[in-house]
Amino acid sequence: MGNADYVPKTNKNYTWIVVTLTIVINGLIALLFFMDGLGAEASFDVTILPMMNAIYNSFTTVFLLAALYAIIKRNVKVHRRFIYAALSTTTLFLVTYVAHHLLADSTPYGGEGIMAGIYYFILLTHIPLAAIIVPLVLFSVIWGMTNQVTKHKKIVRWTMPLWLYVSITGVLIYIMISPYYG
């Protein structure tokens, strides 16, 4: 079945949802950057949250690779399931990321020399791409769900590699900074 055979499920414009969610998510993350943890009492050890973030990012990476494999094999049903799984683990990541930064102060990186250079390069590429990936993922998922295949195929050429990069570098950042958590 060629692209001409696909008919969008809806003509509804979801741009306002994507823009609103992008502003809310990226705005919240930016706000967290400028404030220290609230020091609120938590009923659990908040130092586990960064590890959970890395675990969620690891699962996201695996789900994205499985989704990519499924679509290469033209299995749209399996592809969608893995994309929904990746979206779920990314959402869980966002929840634990926000919780950690609300409840705990930031941890400075303590490495030196070449390792500091590598860490900061990864971090400084990860941060803007993590902001950019929000609307890309949302548009990709919406256009896929609504059978807007031409739009979906165009955007996922950017979304998939960037989402993979952000999820992989999120794990690397955790691995590199984890010795400095107090």
Structure tokens belonging to residue 107: 């941890």
Q: Quick one: which of 87, 80, 112 has its CA closest to 167? A: 87
**pTM: predicted TM-score of the whole model, two decimal places:** 0.88
Apex 136 CA angle, 69 and 3, nearest 5: 60
Give the whole-number percent of the chain exceeding pLDDT 70. 90
Query: Which residues are CB-neighbours of 78 under 8 A, at least 6 positions away?
Result: 66, 67, 70
C-alpha to C-alpha distance for 10 and 15, rounded to whole angstroms: 13
**For residue 180, which of 101, 111, 112 has the smallest C-alpha distance?**
111
Tens digits of residue pLDDT in 70-105: 999 999 999 999 999 999 999 999 999 999 988 888
Domain boundaries, the chain: 15-180
CB contact at 8 A, 129 and 166: yes
CATH number of 15-180: 1.20.120.80
